[in-house]
C-alpha cells in the first residue's frame, strides 16, 4: 500500500482469490497480468482473471512486490528460487514442499488463529 494513503471502502469484506500461476504481457499502452492456478496432476494451469496496468503503475507494482519479498525474506527466511526458463516447472517443483508446510501448519495448535476468528467455521 502506498505510504500515507488509506483505500476508500464501503465496509465490504474483500474476497481474496488464490493464484500460483501468472502470465505477463504488454503492448505500447499497458501491461497485462493473467492470474491462475496450477493443477499439479495435469501439469497445466487455468487462468482465472486479468489485471491491466499502465506502464507507470506496472513499475510501481514491481517495486512494491520487490520490497514486500525482501521484507518477507527478512522475517521468514529465503524463498525457494524458480527456474527462469520454465516457471511452470518451478511451481510444480515447489508444490510438494508447499503441501508439506501446509500440512504442518494445519497440525499446529490454533491458539493465536482461533483467538482472532473464534466464530469462523472454516477455522475448525
Per-residue pLDDT of 62-92, as tens digits, reads: 999 999 999 999 999 998 777 667 766 666 6
Averaged confidence pLDDT in the chain: 77
- The fraction of the chain above a pLDDT of 70, given in percent, is 62
Does 93 map to a domain?
Answer: yes
* Rounded mean pLDDT, 98-120: 55
Mean pLDDT: which of 21-25, 40-44, 88-92 is highest?
21-25
pLDDT of residue 101: 64
Indicate the number of domains in the chain.
1
- CA 65 to CA 58: how far, in whole Å? 11
Does 14 map to a domain?
Answer: no
Does 2 map to a domain?
Answer: no
pLDDT of residue 102: 60
- The fraction of the chain above a pLDDT of 90, given in percent, is 36
Does 115 map to a domain?
Answer: no
Residues contacting residue 26 through CB under 8 Å, at least 6 positions apart: 32, 55, 58
pLDDT of residue 15: 84
Q: pTM here? A: 0.59
List the domain range (segments joined by +) for residue 49.
Answer: 21-107
Does 5 map to a domain?
Answer: no
Does 113 map to a domain?
Answer: no
Residue 54 pLDDT more than 80? yes
Does 76 map to a domain?
Answer: yes
Does 11 map to a domain?
Answer: no
Amino acid at each position: 500500500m502506498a505510504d500515507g494513503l488509506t483505500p476508500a471502502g464501503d465496509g465490504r469484506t474483500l474476497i481474496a482469490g488464490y493464484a500460483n500461476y501468472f502470465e505477463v504481457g504488454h503492448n505500447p499502452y499497458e501491461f497485462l497480468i493473467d492470474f491462475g492456478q496450477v493443477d499439479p496432476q495435469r501439469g497445466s494451469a487455468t487462468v482465472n482473471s486479468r489485471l491491466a496496468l499502465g506502464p507507470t503503475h506496472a513499475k510501481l507494482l514491481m517495486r512494491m512486490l520487490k520490497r514486500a519479498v525482501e521484507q518477507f525474506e527478512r522475517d521468514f527466511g529465503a524463498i525457494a528460487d524458480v527456474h527462469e526458463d520454465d516457471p511452470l516447472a518451478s511451481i510444480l517443483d515447489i508444490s510438494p514442499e508447499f503441501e508439506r508446510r501446509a500440512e504442518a501448519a494445519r497440525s499446529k495448535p490454533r491458539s493465536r488463529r482461533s483467538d482472532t476468528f473464534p466464530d469462523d467455521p472454516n477455522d475448525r
